[in-house]
Amino acid sequence: MSTDASTPDSARASEPLRLLAEDGEDLAIISAALQDAILRPADIVWEKAARRLTIEFSRFCWECGGTRVRSAMQFGDVQAVQSRGLPRLPDTHLELLALDFAPGDLPGGWVTLMFAGGGDLRLEVECLDAVVVDISDRWPARAAPRHPEDEPAPVAAEEGA
């Protein structure tokens, strides 16, 4: 993972995000940074001849809090792309939940992008070669993403009440 360890966390949070993934552990870090990113199917560009997949997102800046930023992720050495359960209408909004890498014939394998609602995008890669960069200034987010585990557990009714 490419980061500058000498930069304090507070300074790093105000800098544009730039990450590189070459293995499953690196991709897990990118997955955390992109959790709750929003995109449209039209933001996914598969260049088969170039063996490259590029995706633009509106990323919630977990590291900054309360802002969003346009980010782009690119995968190189992509041999095939498959989707399952993803809407294809160009203006449909998709919410990215997580990314995962399943090794195959090393250094290759499969990258799966999982979306809210159960759809996913699966990339067969010759090797894991992913880059994420912020490409715009940040703007205030209308709301912070919420997850079921963020909600307080319902209080059970006491017996005899």
Note the residue count of the chain: 161
Question: pTM for the full model?
Answer: 0.81
Provide the pLDDT for residue 145. Answer: 79
Provide the pLDDT for residue 130. Answer: 98
DSSP string, 108-159: -EEEEEEETTS-EEEEEESS--EEEEE-S--EE-SS----GGGSPPPPPPPT
Q: Is the model's pLDDT at 148 over the cut of 70?
A: no
C-alpha of 54 from chain center: 12
C-alpha of 50 from chain center: 22
Q: What percent of the chain has pLDDT over 90?
A: 70
Contact between 26 and 131 (Cβ < 8 Å):
no
Burial, 28: exposed, middle or buried (Cβ in 10 Å; 0-12, 13-18, 19+)?
A: middle
Contact between 27 and 111 (Cβ < 8 Å):
yes
For 80-111, the pLDDT digits (tens) are 999 999 998 888 999 999 999 999 998 999 99
Q: What is the mean pLDDT of the chain?
A: 86
For 33-83, the pLDDT digits (tens) are 999 999 999 999 999 999 999 999 999 998 887 899 999 999 999 999 999
Provide the pLDDT for residue 3. Answer: 44
- Asked whether the CA dihedral 87, 90, 95, 101 is positive or negative, the reply is positive
